[in-house]
Amino acid sequence: MKNYHVSLLALAIGVLSVFGCTPTEEPTPLQDGLGEGEYIPLKELFKDHFPIGAAVTPNHMDSRTPHGRALIEHFNSLVAENVMKPDALQRVKGTYTWTNADRIVQFAKENNMMVRGHTLTWHSQTPDWFFYDENGDLHTPEVAMKQLEEHITAVVSRYKGDVYAWDVVNEAMFDWDPNGQIIYREDSPWYKIMGPAYIDSAFVYARRADPDAKLFYNDYNSIFSWKRNKIFDLVKRLKDNNIPIDGVGLQGHWTVGVSEQDLRTTLDLFRSLGVEIQITELDLSVYLSNDEPGSTIYTDAFNMRQRIAYPMLMKVLLDYSDIITGVTFWGIGDDASWLDTPGRKHFPFLLDEQLQPKPAYFEVQKLIRR
Ligand code: 9MR
């Protein structure tokens, strides 16, 4: 077990002035019999509150590998990082490729884990044939809608009873528009073909294929006012029109600077809609801004930031655990994250590059195991 003694108090104070709060002292001994460096697996820590998930690739699905072992130890829910997307399942029209997705579902079954499905309807990672005819012209709304219906019906039916929740529509709202004039992502080929009608239909098709699956709208930047209000309006409209939607997925691609107030305001807002919330793609980058120089070393400053930000975040999620029905990390440990670029690692998880608990993990553990 790694021993991180944060001796750099000066550094800590520097960081804390950023966060405007008082330091958490050196880890205090736990009062429940756990010794120094001992930990409770994540899924056990949160078992009374929500399942803890990880985004995975098919080659993680092997209990003999470190990733497979870490998954079995810490997680009770899985989501495919890529292999359930339209380009993976139906790259060629009418030809479905299930092998990789099946592996994930099988591993989950063998290890008593839940599976989230990601994603049925998206403008990205979706083959051109969904949108364009052989001349490169956009399909008519009828053709595109039919293809969407076939895809959703085939995929949801195959995993009926195995996938308990689907990201039915992903990232359909326009991302940045402080005046709120542009509601939908208008450059999405789905939108170009038929406006927002595809969103409503996708939920109807998914419900029809598996009446028991939980159906989510999933998006990023969803804790910021300019976007959360659009998502709120969308979900309200869907509900008012009896479109079957169960919840909102807040992706959770945040940083150590994530604002507690933004989180709470967003959760209060969605609570008022009476929908479930899941954090679907959680990663907490160690950088406070894009301008900070990149590092491939997990510095003491990064460590200190995460020791503060992670428990703050998890405390908020616990406070809302009556409406939060799942928390899924967008990866497993700091060895690999979609955020990483050469020279700039983001170290966004609670498990380190060796898939061992980080100091931030122990701070989170204290929330529950005092
Ligand atoms: O993590 C995924 C990465 O491996 C893919 O290259 C990328 C392609 O778009 O998609 C990433 O996952 C995204 C997810 O499906 C939707 N929300 C944003 C995620 C990060 O980009």
Atom 12 in ligand 1: which residue has the minimum CA distance? 81
Query: Is residue 125 lining ligand 1, measured as CB closer than 6 Å?
Result: yes
How far apart, in whole angstroms, are the C-alpha atoms of residue 100 and residue 83? 6
Beta bridge partners of residue 56, listed in sequence order: 80
Query: Ligand 1 within 6 A of 246 CB?
Result: no
Higher pLDDT, 21 or 215: 215
**Binning pLDDT at 50, 70 and 90, where does residue 32 land?**
low
CA distance 218 to 101: 20
Closest-CA residue to 282 (of 319, 255, 263, 318): 255
**pLDDT bracket for residue 147 (50, 70, 90):** very high
Residue 13 confidence class, pLDDT cut points 50, 70, 90: very low
> What is the per-residue pLDDT across 163-219, written as a single tens digit (0 to 9) for each?
999 999 999 999 988 787 899 999 999 999 999 999 999 999 999 999 999 999 999
For 51-105, the pLDDT digits (tens) are 999 999 999 999 999 999 999 999 999 999 999 999 999 999 999 999 999 999 9
- Per-residue model confidence (pLDDT) at position 297: 98
Whether the upstream peptide bond of residue 325 has omega within 30° of 0, thus cis, is no
CB atoms within 10 A of CB 180: 13
What pLDDT was estimated at residue 370? Answer: 63
CA distances from 70 to 240, 279, 368 (A): 42, 20, 21
Q: What are the chain's domains?
A: 8-16+38-369 (3.20.20.80)
| DSSP letter (8 states) at residue 294 | P
Examine the pLDDT at 257 and tell me if it is beyond 80.
yes
State whether the beta carbon of 340 lies less than 6 angstroms from ligand 1.
no
Helices 197-209 and 141-158 sit at what angle, rounded to 10 degrees?
Answer: 30
pLDDT in tens, 334-344: 999 999 999 99
**pTM value surpassing 0.75:** yes
Q: Is the pLDDT of residue 8 over 50?
A: no
Which DSSP state fits 30?
A: P
Would the pLDDT of 24 be above 60? no
Distance 338 CA to ligand 1 centre (A): 7
Q: Which two tokens stand for residue 10?
A: 């000066």
List the one residue out of 311, 315, 354, 322 whose CA is nearest residue 336.
354
> 281 in ligand 1 pocket by Cβ < 6 Å?
yes
Catalytic residue positions?
A: 171, 281
Pocket test for ligand 1, best of 83, 118, 170, 338 (most atoms within 8 A of CB): 338
Q: Name the nearest CA neighbour of 132 among 93, 95, 161, 166.
A: 93
